[in-house]
Amino acid sequence: MAPTDSPPPVLTRPTLLARRNVAQSELFAIESLDLRFANGAERTFERLKGKGRGAVMLVAMPDPDHVLLIREYAAGFDEYTLTLPKGLVDPGEDIITAANRELMEECGYGANRIEPLVELSLAPNYMNHRIQVMLASDLYEKRLEGDEPEPLIVETYAIDDISGLLARDDFHEGRAIAALFIAREKLRSEQTSGSWW
């Protein structure tokens, strides 16, 4: 089986026959789509509607070898889990300002250097949520009040020991794991060229 190196095939997206709002809560809105695919097959799909606000996740490094993780209550699991700081972009806010604000609210630090790392989707079959992952460094102490019900616990881990994190049972969020690997790749490649630290 040969590796694929040809350009992606041109695919015809299905035709939207009908769209209905089927359920709504404070936080979530669900719509159903009646779709006709190029081959004539018809299906009804449901998806969560986004609010159109961006989201941001931070790989924040207090020094060249470590990253900040937060321990917070995750209502979906009814457990405290370990993950990267993240949050929604406020209306009118740019992504860098949002990233710095979340870092101040959740970790008690600001960053003099923030740069985009990657944009990740959550479950593209069922929602259009995307999150912009930012690499933050040159940190300084500064705390802003957030809307958290209780202070988050901030912990510091070696970015080279992702395997150690994965061996824990409280660190499992796919996007956070992807973000750490991508940050580590970037740091390693830039260490070689000497351009990061």
Give the chain's end-to-end CA distance (angstroms, integer). 41
In total, the chain counts a number of residues equal to 197
Question: Do the beta carbons of residue 152 and residue 106 sit within 8 Å?
Answer: yes
Question: Two tokens at 131?
Answer: 């999150």
Residues 94-113 that bind a second copy (CB under 8 A): none
Interaction of residue 8 with a second copy, rule CB under 8 A: yes
Task: Note whether 18 binds a second copy by CB under 8 A.
Answer: no
User: In the complex with a second copy, which residue's Cβ is closer, 26 or 91?
Assistant: 26
Q: Which is nearer to a second copy, 96 or 182 (CB)?
A: 182
Contacts with a second copy in 74-93 (CB under 8 A)? Answer: 74-83
Tokens, residue 185? 């790749």
Shortest reach from residue 115's CB to a second copy, in Å? 15
Gap between the Cα atoms of 77 and 117, Å rounded: 28
Nearer to a second copy, 112 or 124 (CB): 124
User: Which residue of 18, 52, 91, 125 would you call a contact of a second copy, by CB under 8 A?
Assistant: 125
Q: What's at 100, amino acid-wise?
A: N
Applying CB under 8 A, which of residues 47, 88, 93, 95 lies at the interface with a second copy?
47
Q: Which conformational region is residue 92 in: left (phi greater than 0), alpha (psi within -120 to 50 degrees), or beta?
A: left
- Residue 63, interface with a second copy (CB under 8 A)? yes
Q: Which of 18, 39, 91, 145 binds a second copy (CB under 8 A)?
A: 39
**CB neighbours of 91 closer than 8 A, spacing ≥ 6?**
53
β-pairing, 130-141 with 55-60? Answer: parallel
Of 3 and 92, which has the nearer Cβ to a second copy?
A: 3
Q: Is 177 in the site for a second copy (CB under 8 A)?
A: yes
Nearer to a second copy, 92 or 141 (CB): 141
| Shortest distance, position 101 Cβ to a second copy, whole Å | 18
What Rg, from alpha-carbon coordinates, does the chain have? Answer: 20
Residues in the interface with a second copy (CB under 8 A) total 82
Q: Write the burial class of residue 107 (CB in 10 Å: 0-12 exposed, 13-18 middle, 19+ buried).
A: buried
* Interface positions, 132-151, toward a second copy (CB under 8 A): 149-150
